[in-house]
Chains A and B, each alone.
Chain A
């Protein structure tokens, strides 16, 4: 370990010995403010959940759309395989 490591260790050890602040009493009116804020916020994070659900749906729909576009591009541009060429040739013209 380099000297600098020792210095940092000693600094951290010394800092860890600092007396923590005493756990204070709840400030006057704090609980009331929290309760008011809680009641004003309404029951649960309904909007947050809805946003999350919509976002996931949107991402899912986007993924499906991209897959579909990719798949149709692939089938449109792919050269017809041998079997398809034979079938096309063998199919009567009036059925095509």
Chain B
């Protein structure tokens, strides 16, 4: 993750001395990673830049707890994911999705899914992503996180384990339950569309 020119050890040493330049370098180096995580798990009505800022302040404030046992990118990922989870938990209302809330494109994609067994066209990818994100808003934060990582971002179980610190059994069981719940929400939406 770290660029060849970036000396993470020197940077960490600087952070422990509370060196501002080291902090700026650290932020610049890890911004793409944090932004990617924040964008994937962003709660509604939260500005991504604000959440990134919260994540980085947490990381820098707790840098003394980084033991070096795991790569810094994994440690940063865990803090970013936990911060997003907390933000999602704070957003306690999980909206109920209605067919009438869908755009024309979204309704067309769902009708297409119901009428044809073929894979959706590549043009539909962005619309499909919007639909899935809307469906995911009905899941609990951890379930939503798992579905996003496993099904949308192509993480393996091991990748999820590294990024979250959860064990494989927990990930499997929770992913299964999350999928069941997602299926239920999807079914209810489709039933409403048929009325």
Contacts and interface: CB of A to CB of B under 8 A. Distances in A.
A6 B117 contact: yes
Given A5-B183, A11-B128, A16 B24 contact: no
A44 interface: yes
Contacts of A43: 18
Interface residues of B, number: 46
Interface in A4-33: 4-8, 10-21, 23-27, 30-33
B56 A15 contact: no
B178 to A, nearest CB: 12
Contacts of B31: 24-26, 30
A16 B183 contact: no
Interface string B146-173: 0100011110000000000000000000
A7 B114 contact: yes
A14 B20 contact: no
Contact of A14 (B27, B128, B154): B128
A30 B49 CA distance: 8
Given A11-B128, A11-B132, A45-B62, A26 B119 contact: no
B160 to A, nearest CB: 15
Given A38-B61, A44-B64, A8 B182 contact: yes
Q: Describe A's contact surface by its main secondary structure.
A: helix
Interface residues of A, number: 35
A71 B80 CA distance: 47
Interface of B: 18, 20, 23-24, 27-28, 31-32, 35-36, 39, 49, 52-53, 56-57, 60-62, 64, 109-110, 113-114, 117, 119-120, 122, 124-126, 128-129, 131-133, 147, 151-154, 182-183, 186-187, 190
16 contacts: A4-B187, A4-B190, A7-B113, A7-B190, A15-B131, A18-B128, A19-B126, A20-B39, A25-B31, A26-B27, A30-B27, A31-B27, A34-B57, A38-B60, A44-B61, A45-B62
